[in-house]
Amino acid sequence: MSVQTEPRGAAGPAEHDHEAHQKAHPTDRDYIVIAVVLGIITLLEVGTYFIEDASTTFLVATLFPMMIAKFLAVCGWFMHLRYDNPIFRRVFTFGLVLAIVVFVATLTSMEYWSDVYPRGM
């Protein structure tokens, strides 16, 4: 009875599966680009404070997409969710949607959408 063995250092089936699921992870340059993009988005968010006579609807409509973009960039790149199991993406997406729904419901219940909201208190 002959037993065949693989030569030392040869990749077994488990190693082939692991290599097949590997994706190219971001380089240092990618992290720097994402950090610069996040910084620019933050500057735009802070810049909305200096817009005089901006309606609350305009502010929420401009700040929400920037908030979502920053959330997706941080979760996708810095937390490596792009390379993990898709269930983790679903959990974070559900959390984001839930946060937006709760935030909008809270603002609606406090009548934040009306432009009679006192400014400069």
Is residue 78, in this structure, part of any structural domain at all? yes
33-43: average pLDDT: 95
- Which residue type does 11 have? A
Is residue 120, in this structure, part of any structural domain at all? no
Confidence of residue 21 (pLDDT cuts 50, 70, 90): low
Neighbouring residues of 67: CB distance < 8 A, sequence distance ≥ 6: 45
Total count of domains within the chain: 1
In the prediction, which pLDDT does 76 show? Answer: 78
29-46: average pLDDT: 93
Residue 84, both tokens: 């993990």
Residue 37, both tokens: 């993009």
Is residue 118, in this structure, part of any structural domain at all? no
Is residue 57, in this structure, part of any structural domain at all? yes
In the prediction, which pLDDT does 8 show? Answer: 58
Record the pTM.
0.62
Domain span at residue 85 reads 25-109
Instruction: Using a pLDDT cut of 70, give the percent of the chain over it.
Output: 73
